[in-house]
Chains A and B, each alone.
Chain A
Amino acid sequence: KAGVTQTPRYLIKTRGQQVTLSCSPISGHRSVSWYQQTPGQGLQFLFEYFSETQRNKGNFPGRFSGRQFSNSRSEMNVSTLELGDSALYLCASSLGGLSTEAFFGQGTRLTVV
Chain B
Amino acid sequence: SQQGEEDPQALSIQEGENATMNCSYKTSINNLQWYRQNSGRGLVHLILIRSNEREKHSGRLRVTLDTSKKSSSLLITASRAADTASYFCATVKTNNNDMRFGAGTRLTVKP
Q: Could you tell me how many residues of chain A have their Cβ less than 8 Å away from some Cβ of chain B?
A: 28
One of B1, B30, B43, B97 near A56 (C-beta < 8 A): B97
CB distance from B32 to the nearest CB of A (A): 11
B2 cross-chain contacts in A, Cβ below 8 A: 41-44
Q: Which residue of A lies closest to B1 (CB)?
A: A59
Q: Taking each of B2, B41, B42, B102, which has the highest tally of chain A beta carbons within 10 Å of its own beta carbon?
A: B42
The stretch of A61-69, A78-86, A99-107 that contacts the partner chain:
A99-107
User: A62–B92 Cα gap in the complex (Å)?
Assistant: 23
B45-A103 in contact (CB<8A): yes
User: A86–B103 Cα gap in the complex (Å)?
Assistant: 18
CB distance from A68 to the nearest CB of B (A): 17
B45 cross-chain contacts in A, Cβ below 8 A: 101-104
Residues of B within 8 A of A (CB): 1-2, 30-31, 33, 35, 40-45, 48, 88, 90, 92, 96-104
Return the 9 tightest CB-CB contacts between A and B, nearest first: A43-B101, A104-B42, A104-B43, A106-B42, A56-B97, A45-B99, A98-B92, A98-B99, A101-B45
Residues of A within 8 A of B (CB): 4, 33, 35, 37, 41-45, 55-56, 58-59, 88, 90, 92, 97-107, 109
